[in-house]
A and B are shown apart, each in its own frame.
Chain A
């Protein structure tokens, strides 16, 4: 009899065990793949800057190099690289926060316009505001592959030496910005508190 009552507890114990694993599973984010980039130099890019098609035509006769942006241009300062596109719905979600971050002059934000049409991108910025000091155009997504982009929006924090310190996948929340981005930027700038 005693053995039988002990056996009756087995399904219950299994239930608790499985429930425990599932509870842990719920708190994990399978979309957040551990990034191999942390502590590595930001991959090089030389990309055209976002301009309206008409302007681009005008500039063809002038100096084209003016319209190229490279990651090395940013050396010596802490900056964010924010990967976005006008077709990306989640980008609209984080956009007001980026606008705020830019308005507060906390850090330079460079946009990487990923696999987008220039005109759509331009209209999108006019509609939702432009937090970017510059926007690099990655029409084919080649630079995206170099940065291991797989879920737009993505945000990289890059230090003064051009080393990636943080990669955030998916839309930033105000909590992410207050608790991760801003403290890290201040730390990298050598500002305490």
Chain B
């Protein structure tokens, strides 16, 4: 309470720098995930399209040994082998769909981070929306109960009581 009151007395300049610092911190912390992509890839293509396809594949295919890393992030032996395989296939002119199919045929849907919509994966796709709707419903419900209805005689009575308490406290020694 006291803090927020002081806050309003700050000059607009101070407030500006305060906000700037906050923005900076926000960008810094949200940027912390960026080094995850930083494992240097020595493999280079002459062809820009092939390079882009290769990088897309290594980001979207899962390293099965480490499971929570993609091929680009992982230094596991298997990830290296699969990167090499992806590199060779891109080099030989295979397209995105063909390479993904090659991987899925061998390692299952689990190897791709974006699971296809199938009966077995339905819950994965629906659950986030379901939870979001639940959350919104809860928030709406909570707000309704939190705001007192001033037309209600009971709240008017309470308001009167509160006012008289404040008055009385001022007269105390």
Q: Which residues of A are interface residues toward B (Cβ below 8 A)?
A: 30-31, 33-37, 115, 140-141, 144-148, 150-151
B36 contacts the other chain (Cβ, under 8 Å)? no
If the complex has contacts A150-B64, A150-B65, A151-B65, are A36 and B82 also in contact, measured as CB distance less than 8 A? no
Which residue of A31, A36, A141, A150 is within 8 Å of B104 (Cβ)?
Answer: A36
Can you list 15 contacts pairing A with B, beta carbon distance less than 8 Å?
A30-B67, A31-B67, A33-B64, A33-B108, A34-B109, A34-B110, A36-B108, A36-B109, A37-B106, A115-B77, A145-B85, A146-B106, A148-B107, A150-B65, A150-B78
For the A-B complex with A148-B107, A150-B78 known, give 17 more contacts whose Cβ atoms are closer than 8 Å: A31-B67, A33-B107, A33-B108, A33-B110, A34-B108, A34-B109, A36-B108, A140-B81, A141-B78, A144-B81, A145-B82, A145-B85, A147-B106, A148-B108, A150-B64, A150-B107, A151-B65
Proximity string of chain B (63-89) to chain A, C-beta cutoff 8 Å, 1 when within and 0 when not = 011010000000001100110010000
Determine if B105 is an interface residue (Cβ-Cβ < 8 Å).
Answer: yes
- Using CB atoms, name the residue of chain A closest to B120: A34
A36 touches B65 (CB 8 A): no
A147 to B109, CA, bound (A): 15
Instruction: Give which listed residue, B81, B105, B106, B109, contacts A141 with CB less than 8 A.
Output: B81
Which residues of B does A touch, CB under 8 Å?
Answer: 64-65, 67, 77-78, 81-82, 85, 104-110
Q: Which residues of B contact A141 (CB under 8 A)?
A: 77-78, 81
Q: Which B residues are CB-close (under 8 A) to A115?
A: 77
Q: A30-B67, A145-B82, A145-B85 are in contact. Are A36 and B77 (CB under 8 A)?
A: no
Q: Point out the residues of chain A lying under 8 angstroms from B82, CB to CB.
A: 145
Q: In the bound complex, what is the Cα–Cα distance between A172 and B32 (angstroms)?
A: 41
Q: Please, how many angstroms separate the alpha-carbon atoms of A29 and B64 in the complex?
A: 13
Interface centre among A33, A35, A37, A115 (most CB of B within 10 A): A33
- Most B C-beta atoms less than 10 A away, residue of A30, A37, A145: A145
Give the 7 A-B CB pairs with smallest separation, nearest first: A150-B64, A148-B106, A33-B110, A36-B108, A148-B107, A141-B81, A33-B108
Chain A hits for B85, CB < 8 A: 145
Contacting residues, chain B, for A31 (C-beta < 8 A): 67
Q: Are A36 and B67 in contact (CB under 8 A)?
A: no
CA distance A37 to B104 in the complex (A): 10
**Chain A proximity of B89: nearest CB distance (Å):** 11
Q: How far is the CA of A147 from the CA of B78 in the complex (A)?
A: 13
Q: Which residue of A lies closest to B85 (CB)?
A: A145
Are A36 and B64 touching (Cβ within 8 A)?
Answer: no
The answer for the CA separation of A31 and B81 in the assembled complex, in Å, is 19
Nearest CB of A to B121, in Å: 11
A141 to B80, CA, bound (A): 11
Contact in complex: B110, A145 (CB < 8 Å): no
List A contacts of B64 (CB < 8 A): 33, 150-151
User: What residue in chain B is nearest A115 (Cβ atoms)?
Assistant: B77
